[in-house]
Structure 1
Amino acid sequence: MSAAVLLYAIGMEAFASASPLIELGARQLFNPSFATGCSTPQAQLSCHNTTVQENTCCFESPGVNYLCFVINGLIMQVQLWDTYPRTGADDEWTVHGLWPDNCDGTWSQFCDPSREYPSVAQVLKDNNREDLLGWMTKHWLDQNGDNESFWEHEWNKHGTCMSTLEAKCMPKGSKNGTDAVAYFQTAMNLHRSVPTYKILAAAGIYPSANKSYTYDELTSAVKKEMGYIPAFDCNKNIIFEISYYYNLRGSVVDGRFQHIDAFTGGSCPKTGPLWYLPKGVAAPAGQSTSAFPSSTVTSTATVTATVSTTSPTTSGIPTSAKYILDAVINGTAAGCLLSKGTWAATGPGITCAKFSFASSDNIHYTMTSSKGLCAVDEDGGLSCDVNVQNPSSFKLTFINGSNELTYQGLTTFSSGAVPQGDAQETVKLGCGPLNSEFALVLRTP
């Protein structure tokens, strides 16, 4: 069987037999690079757990907002229909990306600068994956022709936020970039399993500059063939994007993706005509192109997620000032960070440390107290000391009017207990005992 026939068979089988309760696993264009050993039918389904899942290599839990309440693991597979300029084949929706979200629809981004790669193409070549690179150059296309920057953006913004692709989850001795290879391979597999053009065509929905469709017609067409509802996004009332939603059992590397209905309805108007234009056409017949500007969503400068308009944003601060970091639990300051990186309840005998921040790009910061540079160690412990040689790179996330200290996409810190009196507690990144999780919020003295 030729590669083209095999590809068609994979896509057709996937959409012909799928339903909301059927998971994708075996029907793949590319086999997993390695077996994780945790992607079994019995693995915990993301967004459906009722207890903390400690092994985040086997349980996808991106994001920061509800880390300690374990409601993460919403996966979006996003496809583009870029018509003007024409991008990709006339009968195929191209890849936008694979996005990990929190289960409430918010998300994190650019979670680990240390794993950002200057050239995705070179990473694929170094890992002997010219086959994958070949498919991407045909199906994962930037509207402005800069595929490399587009791929880098998708990995840096979204791939680095997937917990099951963290460095600790890769096999010992893995080549540099194994994580990114797994991300792009899984994204391509999912894209090929849902051939949007064929799904719509099966319902008689074809691109046209003369015939419009309604939102209900489009979503019903996909639901009839696939068994679940996607989200459509529009530039005004011209369709340019579709998002398929999943929960996941196991790892992004070789996990079992279960279709679910879209978390949100997308940005297309729910009433009135929607235009599914042929590629190469900028506007419906008889209408001015000036009323329908091209959808520049694949430009790395303009890519935006459409799930939530209330998600946190990366923030910059004046580095000439010094700041106190309050430990905030459930919206109330319970204490503050001390100069060694420990924390204590505010009160007699406790002096909140003043921290300075340095940055070369107003995004990534090193943090220093009177004791020295601050770092998060391999076990997640925070300390500030004169002997710190490799300070951590922090970000500041603007949430509810305040800047929260962020490390590798996480804004949640914890300790063994909430300190009482003049006692001090060590600070650890991530979850801890009940009611001991807190955010570190900046304020000026």
Structure 2
Amino acid sequence: MLQTNRALRRARRVVPAAVLTAGLLAGGAVTAAPASAGTAPLTLTVQPPSSIGAAGGPVEFTETIANPGGTGWAVVLQLTAETASGAGPDFIGIETRNELNGRWEVVPVTLHHEQDKDVFSAEVIGKIMVPAGEKTDVHLRIGAPLGKPHAGATNGGVGPAVTLRSEVKGWWQDLPVEPAVRDTSTIEVGAVSNELAGVPAGAVAGGAPVEFDVLLRNPTRSAYTNLGNVLFADRHAKVEVRRADGTWAALPAVDVPDEAAGPAGFYLDGRDSSLAPATTRTERVRISYPAGTPGTAGELRPCVFVNETEKEAFRGTTFCSQGATVAITEAAAPKPTTPAPARTSATPAPPSAAAPSVPAARAAAATSAAAAAVPVTSAPPSTPAPAPAAAAAADPAPAGRLAVTGSDGGRTGLLAGLAVLLIGVGVAAFAVVRRRRTGAAG
């Protein structure tokens, strides 16, 4: 009976050894080891991405586990991503590539808060085999989606950097990797943005459109999808964008929810456009304002929306930049198309009825005196006076006197006519007085 018990105890010790040997032959790595074998000569090399984009796609990187020792290992890789407080459950995502089919698989991530930071923890699913004297690459992707597709976060964020911590652990808890194999890396978090360039200072309501550029920038290593490049402007303005073929396309105005009387949004590339990593795209835009647009309606504001909800515009992860203001003025009043006729020096201006000139007043007084002194007789048939030009041609100026031309000639002729009239009036008055004296003497 005692010998039987000893045989059973030997069998129990032999079975684990047989299983261990089978594991070594099948997996090429040690799955168990004596306590003295806890020291593992493993190393970890991490090549993290230089940056990721907030609300952008995941970025690929590699972690390499090397085993320069003579004993193979089966390990797991634990990852944590730490960021400043204010993150949500879907703000960090981690993926691993299945080496059998090449597909990317999502790694479950849990979020917990530690004082002033948020920690996302993930354990890569599956056993990682590191044969003796070899190294194994683990292909990963990390991103900051800030929500899910078409359900972008409207509050909170990550960054300006993410601290990535990686640790290699033994497949079994009772077989730790000692000394610990860890790595800490820093990944910058950037963002897509749009900005205005070359905006003119003013525009005329009802006038020609003004042109400027809208630059869409992605300085990160993330690709962006479900993206809206938006310019907010007065809802009555006409906003156009120049396409690749040089033509101008008018953009529809999209109302801002709960702000029916405010500005409208104009999608420069549509609601679900995309932008590649490390890319800048320039859109040429022109805008015109209808007549009567108030001067305060020239404010322009650029914003980028990522993962907008399908039913509501401008609701998603939002990045807005500094805007600009265009001073709007009314068009100037049109000038008369027919100019007033110019007054020439050859045509004398008619005397004003309200204030007659001095020669005209004297002529009127002389005419009244002559009418009172001279008896009315039948006038001989009048002969039209020759035109000034004809008279000048027919009767040249006497020798020794200069010919009179222009406006001076007109005034001189008028004075000469008045002098003759006054002389005639004086002669007529003298004749009447003489006849009266003769009659009295007789």
If the TM-score is normalised by the length of the shorter chain, which range does it land in? under 0.3
Query: Under a length normalisation based on structure 1, what TM-score does the superposition of the two structures give?
Result: 0.22
Tell me which protein shows more strand as a share of its residues: 2
Q: Which has the higher contact order (CA 8 A, sep 6+)?
A: 1
| Larger radius of gyration between Structure 1 and Structure 2 | 2
Query: Under a length normalisation based on structure 2, what TM-score does the superposition of the two structures give?
Result: 0.22
